[in-house]
Chains A and B, each alone.
Chain A
Amino acid sequence: MGHKTTYKPYGDSAILIDWHAEISISISNDILEFYKKIKDLKDTNIVEVIIGYSSLTIVFKKRITDYFKEVKSLKEVYNLKDISFKRTPFIWQIPVCYDVDFGKDLQEMSNITKLEISEIITLHSEKLYRVYFIGFLPGFCYLGGLNERLFLERKPNPRLHVAKGSVAIGGKQTGIYPAESAGGWNIIGKTPVDFFNVCLEHPCFVKAGDFIKFITVGKEEFFQIEKEVKDTSYEISKVLYNA
C-alpha cells in the first residue's frame, strides 16, 4: 500500500495496473501483497492475475460491463489493511554445476569480461536473487540481483537447443531454463533441479517473492542429485528469509 498506481483497460476483459516503471523490491512487495489480496477474494469472475516487474493484470471471465465499478472495487481491495497478506519468503538453495561441460559459454564470457572463470562462478553464486515473477515458459523465474560485472549481451545467434536446467546470463538478467528450448542467453552452468514438473502436486516449487541462492556442486554430485530428482527422493533445501 501507499505506492502510486494507475489503472487502465487492457482489451475488453482485463484491467492493467501499473506501478512506477522500475525494478524495485518495495514495488514488487506491494504488487505481491495486492496479488494475494485479489487471489484471496476467490472471485469466480476473475480468471487470471498476471504479475509483472511493475504491473498486475486482472483478467475477467467475461467482457467488463462497468469498468469504473471494477476499478473502484479493486482499489478497495488494494487498500485493505490486513497483515496476513504478507508471506515470509523462502530462500531456495539450488545446486548448480559450473563445469565447462555444462557452462558452454563460460570460456567466451571470461574472454569478453576479462574475468577468470572462477571469478565468474564466485560472483554468480555469492548473490541472493529475488524471484520477481514467473513467466516466459512454465517455471521460468525472472530474477533480480545480478552483479553488474556479469552483465553480458545475449548471443547474436540464439542456440536452437538449450538444455533444460541451463543457468544463463542474458543482458542484465540471470535465469534458469526450466525446459529445453531455443535461447540466446550465455550458458554458465546447469542445475539438476526441476523448476516445473506437471506430475507433482505443486508443479512449480518457487513463488514470486522467494529468493534463490545457487550452491556450487561438482559433476559427481550433479549426477547424484539428478538421479534423486528423477526418482523424486531429492528435496531442495530452503530457509526462511529474514529481511
Chain B
Amino acid sequence: MKFLKFYTMLKVLKAGFFNTIQDKGRFGYAAMGVPVSGAMDSYSSDIANSILNNSLEDAVIEITFGNCKFQLLCDTFICVSGGGFSVKINQRLIGLNKKISVSKNDILSFGNLNFGARCYLAVSGGIKSEVKLNSRSFYKGVTKNTVLQNGMDIPILQRSKGEFMSNSSIKINEAHFSSKEIKCYKGPEFDLLHSDQQKDLIERLYSISKNANRMGYQLNETIPNNIPSILTSAVMPGTVQLTPSGNLIILMKDCQVTGGYLRVLQLPEAAINCIAQKSTNSQFHFVLEDL
C-alpha cells in the first residue's frame, strides 16, 4: 500500500450547522481540565475507518445535522458510516458502509436525516488536520476551529484509483440504531438514591430532550430529588447525572472532567455509541447490568 505523502484538500463548500473533526479523543489532560472529546459514536467511526483500511485512530468528520457539501480536490476513497443523510456524489446517491472511489472535483453532499442522528465521513489515510494535545478532535480553546467553516480546506491524502482492489463490506448491527435498551451499570452514587428513585430510573421510559449536544444529553423526564450534591469529583462520558432539580443528564464526549451532581448510572462505550444515534424525543430505557 503506497501513497503519495503530500496533502491535498477536501474543501468545505457548505459547512452545515455543527460538523466537526474527531478521532478517539485526548487522554491524559484531565489534570488541566481538558475533556476527552472524540467521535460520539465510535462504533460507526470505527466501521468507516476499517472499511478504508485506515487506523482506528485516524480522524474522521462527524456530521450531525446534515445539509453540508464538500469538494474533493484529488482522487481518493471515502466511506460514510452511521446515520443516514442521503449522501450524494455529484447527483448520484451513494450507499453507507462502502468504500467509494471519488475523483478530483467531485461534490459530496449530505442531505436530510433519514435515520440515526449523525454520520462519519472517513477518507483514505485519515483527515490530517492540526494535532493539539495529541488529538485532532475539535474542542473550543484547544483546536483553532470549533466547527467546520465555509471555505475551509481540510488536509487529506491523494490516492490513485485502483489502489485498493479489495471490496470489503461490513455487516452493520441494525440494533445499534433501533434498540431502545441502553445498557448501564450503577454509578458511584446509585446506592444513595431512595428505592423509589432507583425503581424510577430502571423501570421508566426516558426520552432525549432538545437540550442535547456533544457535552451532554438532558432527558425530558425528571426524578424528584432531595439528596444533596457531592463534593466535586470525576465525571466521564457515559456518566448519568441527577441534578438537585431532578433533571437527568447523560454526559457525552465533550463533557467536563469533574462535576458535583449525583452520578447515578454509568454507560459503557457501546451504550454511549447507541445513545449518540438517538435524536430528540427518541425513547429508551436503562437496562442495569452487574459488573
Q: Which residues of A contact B (CB under 8 A)?
A: 8-14, 16, 18, 21-23, 35, 47-55, 57, 59, 63, 67, 133-140, 142, 178-179, 196, 198, 203-204, 207-208
Contacts and interface: CB of A to CB of B under 8 A. Distances in A.
A196 B33 contact: yes
Given A21-B231, A135-B30, 9 more contacts: A11-B239, A48-B28, A52-B231, A54-B233, A55-B231, A137-B141, A142-B232, A198-B133, A208-B31
A229 B279 CA distance: 43
B263 to A, nearest CB: 8
Contacts of B133: 198, 203
The 5 A-B residue pairs with the shortest CB-CB distance in the complex, in nearest-first order:
A135-B258, A52-B233, A57-B234, A11-B266, A50-B234
A21 B230 contact: yes
A6 to B, nearest CB: 10
Contacts of B267: 11
B140 to A, nearest CB: 7
Q: Determine the interface band of chain B, counting residues with CB < 8 A from chain A.
A: 35 or more
A30 to B, nearest CB: 15
B249 to A, nearest CB: 15
Given A47-B27, A203-B133, A204-B33, A198 B141 contact: yes
Contact of B234 (A55, A140, A142, A196): A55
A67 B290 CA distance: 13
Contacts of B234: 10, 14, 16, 50-52, 55, 57
Nearest to B143: A198
Which residue, of A59, A138, A203, has the highest number of chain B Cβ atoms within 10 A? Answer: A138
B170 interface: no
Nearest to B233: A52
B236 interface: yes
Interface of B: 27-34, 36, 132-133, 140-142, 185, 187-188, 230-234, 236, 238-239, 256-259, 263, 266-269, 291
A55 B260 CA distance: 12
Nearest to B258: A135
A11 B268 contact: yes
Given A11-B266, A11-B267, A135 B188 contact: no
A23 B141 contact: no
Contacts of B34: 138
Given A11-B266, A53-B233, A196 B31 contact: no
30 contacts: A9-B291, A11-B185, A11-B267, A12-B268, A16-B188, A18-B188, A18-B233, A48-B28, A48-B36, A50-B234, A50-B236, A50-B258, A51-B234, A52-B231, A52-B233, A53-B232, A53-B233, A54-B231, A55-B233, A55-B234, A57-B234, A59-B27, A135-B33, A135-B257, A135-B259, A136-B258, A178-B141, A196-B141, A198-B142, A204-B32
A222 B221 CA distance: 47
Contacts of B266: 10-12
Nearest to A47: B27
Contact of A179 (B141, B231, B259): B141
B250 to A, nearest CB: 13
A207 B267 CA distance: 30
A139 B33 contact: yes
Contacts of B141: 137-138, 178-179, 196, 198
A135 B236 CA distance: 12
Nearest to A57: B234
A53 B233 CA distance: 7
A137 B33 contact: yes
Nearest to B289: A12
Which residue, of B142, B239, B266, has the highest number of chain A Cβ atoms within 10 A? Answer: B266
A8 B185 CA distance: 12
A13 B236 CA distance: 11
A11 B263 CA distance: 11
Nearest to A173: B232
